[in-house]
Amino acid sequence: MASVLVDLDVESLGPEVRKADKPDFSATRKLYSHVKKTTFAKFVASKKVPPTCENPSLWHCCGQSFKESSSIHKHVANNHASEIHQVTTEMLDVMLHLDQSEEESINEESTDISSWIPDTSHVPEDELIKGPGEVLLYYCYCQLNDPQMICQWQKDLCLKLKLTGKVRVAAEGINGTVGGTKTATNLYIKAMLSHPTLKIMQVQDFKKSEGGAECFSDLKVGVYKEIVPMGVDPDIISYRLAEVKAFVENQSDKDTILLDCRNFYESKIGQFNQCLAPDIRKFSYFPDYVDENLDLFRDKKVLMYCTGGIRCERGSAYLKSKNVCKEVYQLKGGIHKYLEQFPDGFYRGKLFVFDERYAIAFNEDVISECRYCSCPWDRYQLCSTDFCCQLVLSCTTCRERGLTACCPVCQAKEQNRNDIPSNGLSHREECECTMSRPRIPKDTL
């Protein structure tokens, strides 16, 4: 898998550059990260030479020849980190100096959010309602001084563009998935990239998939403590502790763990080959899972992945804070970005998404099975019991037989409608699916 992952993106510095040597740009960490990646890529590109019959090597550096991108990346990371670091800081100093006046204007910016809403007078309203659609998935860690204002801006922006979906805003950044026509989503991306607080975002930060406004029942925008619910105070365990890397050296299976940070029902229908997929129901259980399984990660190199990358930002920071791993990596852009580039790569099955589609397909593999007859099946539906919120894999044949609940307990309740509360109000209830599953599993390799 390393040979495929290596071509995605690289952000790596050798051990001789200490964290203390890096400039303290907490509010512009992602900008520093972007400049460093650009500098690294330009350095590698400068070593590229046209291949010949006598010399098929693609890169030359320090008197050595390299045929594989992984080899030149590793060489530059280990031997030229100081140069990369120096050029990066010099470029960043120039950018911050030129941008100082703009930063000051941002701090004194008017609370009039209408200036951040795009003009759609030239766009026929039908183009915001009808036509080809898509769903966007994105996140951005950045310091938001006024999350409430950003929240209101997002509400107005989405309503103006007829978008549906979910957007979480916090002091640490923004995380969202929205659906609408392609005209509307393109306007949304432009509005996001033009906002002064989110200027560190780039077009490639928005992952796209087929869909539209119909993929969500409504629009939900709110201010939260965290942009991804982990249950750990972001002021204590910050995403800034995680080194964003989409490159992992070619290590033996004994030294490397490929860790799926998602919930069990996500990894059940799709995952990377030979991964460790924790049997947890919520990401907020992940810190407890790490604590319970610390020995599993001791002296290992861990490559973490999730849907779009956001859970890995927090999860890798938490794992690194335990100081038991040799190194911790994360898959840049998550599974979504990986599958866009490698649909026939090492990820098999469907990609679970948190909207009414439940899953999107990049390959034809089916790795899960029907809850009742065990035939290959990976199309989720909600449990038919009114007061259960679990997802169930029940094939067409079994559903026609009335097997539409997530477990026998719920199936019995479905057949006996007298169990519904007399006041007619529905309520959430733990069923056999959750009661029989340990909250925090103890895993082995």
Taking Cα atoms as reference points, which of 163, 237, 251, 173 lies closest to residue 205? 173
Beta-carbon contacts of residue 24 (< 8 Å; ≥ 6 apart): none
Q: Measure the CA–CA gap between 301 and 123, rounded to whole angstroms.
A: 51
Strands in 85-234 per DSSP E: 133-141, 164-170, 173-181, 207-210, 219-223
Residue 268: DSSP 8-state: T
Taking Cα atoms as reference points, which of 102, 110, 40, 29 lies closest to residue 73? 40
Cα separation values, 94 from 19, 38, 56, Å: 21, 15, 39
Pairing between strand 164-170 and 59-61?
unpaired
Beta-carbon contacts of residue 167 (< 8 Å; ≥ 6 apart): 151, 154, 158, 174, 175, 176, 177, 178, 220, 221, 222
Taking Cα atoms as reference points, which of 189, 297, 176 lies closest to residue 228? 176
Residue 119: DSSP 8-state: P
Active-site residue, from 306, 395, 398, 410: 306
Q: Measure the CA–CA gap between 136 and 322, rounded to whole angstroms.
A: 34
Q: Is 27 helix (H, G, I), strand (E, B) or coil?
A: helix
Q: Measure the CA–CA gap between 70 and 74, rounded to whole angstroms.
A: 6
Q: Give the pair of three-digit tokens for residue 425.
A: 């109000």
Q: Give the pair of three-digit tokens for residue 370.
A: 């029907």
Whole-angstrom Cα Rg for the chain: 24
Q: Is 215 helix (H, G, I), strand (E, B) or coil?
A: helix
Taking Cα atoms as reference points, which of 273, 140, 156, 283 lies closest to residue 207? 140
| Measured torsion, CA atoms of residues 245, 248, 253, 255, in degrees rounded to the nearest 10 | -70
Q: Measure the CA–CA gap between 284 and 306, rounded to whole angstroms.
A: 14
Concerning whether 398 is annotated as a catalytic residue, the answer is no
Catalytic residue annotation: 306
